[in-house]
Structure 1
Amino acid sequence: MLRARAFGPSSDIHEDPAALSRLSELEELARTSQRTEKPSPVSVGEAEDPEVSTVDEPRVQEPDAPPEPSPPARDGLRTRALWVASLVATAAVAVAVTAATTPIISVPRPPDARLVGTIEIDESAGWPPMFGEPQSDSVVYEDFYGLTALRQGGSVFGQGDTECVMIFETGPLRSPTDSYEGPSFYGCGAGAFPPRVPVLIQAGMPTELIVRFPVGTALEFVLDGERLGVFSDAD
């Protein structure tokens, strides 16, 4: 309003000293306000580039210090014992599983032997002198196709409290000499198993034996109480 009275076409402010004074105050106040709002200069160092973004430099990761060894546990020995026991138990289970899964291999039985004779004690036969004095349990059996069996305690052979059976050729056994020359076979019992004496028929044995049992035939003499059973693998 005051500026219109001062600069407009119908200016009359020069006729109103109070209005003219008020207009001067307002213009001075406007100029003062403009000087106050003028931005302060910015130094080069403080200027910011809107295209440059501030990026933090990567920090070097310091290696972690090695952990300090923990003090030994009070029950360390007990823990170790339990660990060892667990290993033993695991091994036992593994053995048991292996045994359970391992097939049992059957052992083939020998061909059925055939009983071919029974030999009784020869009460009339004397103990061969070449074997020294007879013992209380010394026994001589009857001749079997040129073979003679003797029975004596196992102590003579270092077998302890058991019985042993010996097989000799009859001819050399009954010779008047103090020595025996010829083949011999023997076997001793063990616990519930009786003495068994296998004999393989070979060339040079008594003729009557070979005639009855060809060369290559296997015989087995088995003690049964006081007598001997003779078994053969021949048909």
Structure 2
Amino acid sequence: MDAENEAELRSLRARAYGPKADITTDRAAMRRLRELEAARRAEVTGPTDPSDPTVGEEEADAAPAEQLSADSSPTAIADPTDEGSESEWWQPREEPDDDARVGATASAPRRRRVLWALSVVASAAAAAGVTYALTAVAPVSASSGVPQVATLHPTTATAVPHGFFGASEDTPVYDFYGLTIFHAEGGFGGGGTGVGDVCIMAVPTEQVPAVDSFDATSWGFDGPIYSGCSAGAFSATIEVPLRSEAPETLRARFPEARGVQFVLDGDRVGVFVDNGQTSG
């Protein structure tokens, strides 16, 4: 090979094997590289057998050697424009056949495209799952920020007759500013039918009849009635609006409030008061 061909071979090898390889888009350059490499091999090994099927147009059209797999990658990298570095920057360990090179390099972009598409699908699915988790159940505050003002314990100040609005025998009784609260066997209106359910009733204390004069088969009542029953893990709860029908003593105790809530907790009752500043 003359000096001009040597220079062209170095230039094409730089485009094929260098860090900025770009020869794959230039079919003419690829073909010329194969011709010059064949000529170089002929100088080293002697004339190529014309009957060799790997020589000719099919070889010239094959993919260049920059598409070698990892097993046949160069043993050293140096500046391909340096005339004295040729033996260092391109020394293939073993040159595979053209079909193997084409197959190995052609499948890599396809694999990358498939992996990229799968990653997009997985990311979209994950984002959809997070969005559903954040929006499917909107949180609601159970207490509404209303403060607890008292905890009631059973009292003996008021006795509730057995059978009065379903009052159980020896029912716990709680008094709170003109209201009497007690356990009942069923809620007003048919609540508390489940196994383990507990119901509580609240009535004006002045409407509770005396135990010794109460007739379970015939008695009257004139006043507001409040009731609530538990349901599974949910406690029995009563809300009393502080309107004109509520006991006067209760309204006088909380003149600015809009309502009082009673929540049964074992043998205690928690009292929560809306002071009129909490939005519902």
What TM-score, normalized by structure 2, do the two folds share? 0.42
| Structure number with higher relative contact order (C-alpha < 8 Å, ≥ 6 residues apart) | 1
Greater Cα radius of gyration, structure 1 or 2: 1
Q: Which has the higher helix share?
A: 2
